[in-house]
Amino acid sequence: MQEYPSPDAGVALCPGFIYGSRQVSAGASILLHYIGAPLAFILRTTGLSKLSHLPWMSAALTLPVSVEDVGCTAALLALRPPEIENKLRDQRLTGEQIVELAAIHRN
């Protein structure tokens, strides 16, 4: 059986706006990727997301993240690969860090 660290150790995923399809009822869904994907592109390419540390700008400029990237990163962290476990212990991952880890996991 694998030994786990103390319950106090862990990683918090703090992505902000998550986009994808949101199922609201049988046969009806809200397609949030029509808003999130273009907004993520604009924030990433212009560098505006780097201003999200400012208190009054954090909600507006936090990089939107796809539900696939959040799921991919959560799965990667649940597997606890040794090459990233020690680097990420007790960390709070932002949207940009979630996207980077998801890209690593996919490759």
More confident residue, 16 or 71: 71
Whole-number pLDDT of residue 89: 67
- Any residues with CB less than 8 A from the CB of 69 and at least 6 apart, and which? 15, 98, 99, 102
**What is the CB-side half-sphere exposure of residue 94 using CA atoms within 13 A?**
10
Burial label, 88 (beta-carbon count in 10 A; 0-12, 13-18, 19+): middle
Mean pLDDT of 73-85: 79
pLDDT tens-place string over residues 53-65? 777 776 777 788 9
Backbone phi and psi for residue 31, each to the nearest 5 degrees, phi listed first: -90, 85
Q: Please give the model's pTM, rounded to 2 decimal places.
A: 0.73
pLDDT tens-place string over residues 17-41? 899 988 888 888 888 888 888 888 8
Whole-number pLDDT of residue 79: 80
The answer to whether the beta carbons of residues 32 and 20 sit under 8 Å apart is yes
Whole-number pLDDT of residue 67: 93
Whole-number pLDDT of residue 107: 72
